[in-house]
Amino acid sequence: MQEIPFTPSNYQKLFKDERSTIRLGERSYYKGEVLLTCRSLELSFISTIREVEITTFGKLDDIHAAMEGFSNLSELKEELRLLYRTEITSADTVTIAYFGES
């Protein structure tokens, strides 16, 4: 089974308003069951990836950010910058995994 790790703060968003995850780079996620984990809190649960989209950061908008649990695209960009420790440009490839029933 595929696994997607989360930081503690982002893991908690899964139970509130997050319906997707946006990851820097092209990831090999696929439709189907996925184990969502937070190793530092020793938590995990099984969800379903219903769709995967590979695009560039420049094509994202505030709706994508809201699906991630952020108020706007600037907040999402800052979170990605901190997580990946690199500047995020509009040309950077991102992978979006949408959670929920197929």
Q: What is the pLDDT of residue 87?
A: 98
Residue 73 burial (CB count, 10 A): 17
Closest C-alpha among 72, 52, 44 to residue 60:
72
Q: What's the predicted TM-score (pTM) here?
A: 0.89
6-10, 29-33, 70-74, 91-95 — which is least confidently predicted?
A: 6-10
Q: Does pLDDT of 102 surpass 60?
A: no
**DSSP state, residue 39:** G
- Tell me the per-residue pLDDT of 16-48, one tens digit each, with 9 for 90 and over: 666 899 999 999 999 999 999 998 888 898 999
The two tokens of residue 22 are 């946006």
Q: 37 forms bridges with which residues in the sheet?
A: 5, 44
CA neighbor of 95 nearest in space, from 54, 63, 67:
54
Cα angle 91-97-100, degrees, rounded to a multiple of 5:
150
In this predicted structure, the answer to whether residue 51 has a pLDDT above a threshold of 90 is yes
User: Domains in the chain: how many in total?
Assistant: 1
Residue 14 confidence (pLDDT)? 75
User: What is the CATH classification number for the domain harbouring 87?
Assistant: 3.10.400.10
Residue at 73: amino acid letter: L
- Residue 14's domain comprises 2-99
State the pLDDT at residue 29. Answer: 98
